[in-house]
Amino acid sequence: MEKNSLITLVKAYFEKIDAGDPTYIDLFHDEVTFFFPKFGDAVGKQALLEFGDKIGSSLNSIWHDIEQFNFIVSGNTVVVEGQEGGVMRDGTKWPDNHISSGRFCSVFECNDNLISRMYIYVDPDFPSRDSERIATLSRVTL
């Protein structure tokens, strides 16, 4: 795939996720490999759907600042550095821009015009409730 086609495919994933469009799954190979912190490694569309259900049950909404994404493309690999945010089920908005800035990095591999690998690197404590690690690591006084 050409660089622009790879970026277009990855952008389509984020656009569909932000819109709550369940057809995002059609962008993936049947045997997609997937990683998300705390969920772990998984293989296949069914595992990706399971993850979507789990994370979706904790969120009212999610957004990604797609226009500001930094894309790095090498071969069939696309690395995305960006910012995300949203609203938790309890109404808590994130990032708080105090402790959390909503930064993430995701690595995609694409084959046959589909995503075959997606590894998401992000702090899954979206609303900054992990007070033990925040107290240990943050330079911000709570």
DSSP 50-106: HHHHHHHTTEEEEEE-GGG-EEEEETTEEEEEEEEEEEETTS-EE--SSS---EEEE
Name the CATH topology of 3-137: Nuclear Transport Factor 2; Chain: A, (3.10.450)
Domain map (residue ranges) of the chain? 3-137
The per-residue pLDDT for 63 is 98
pLDDT in tens, 61-120: 999 999 999 999 999 999 999 999 999 999 999 999 888 899 999 999 999 999 999 999
- The whole model's pTM is what? 0.93
The answer to whether 15 and 66 have CB atoms below 8 angstroms apart is yes
pLDDT in tens, 31-59: 999 999 999 999 999 999 999 999 999 99
The answer to whether 114 and 10 have CB atoms below 8 angstroms apart is no
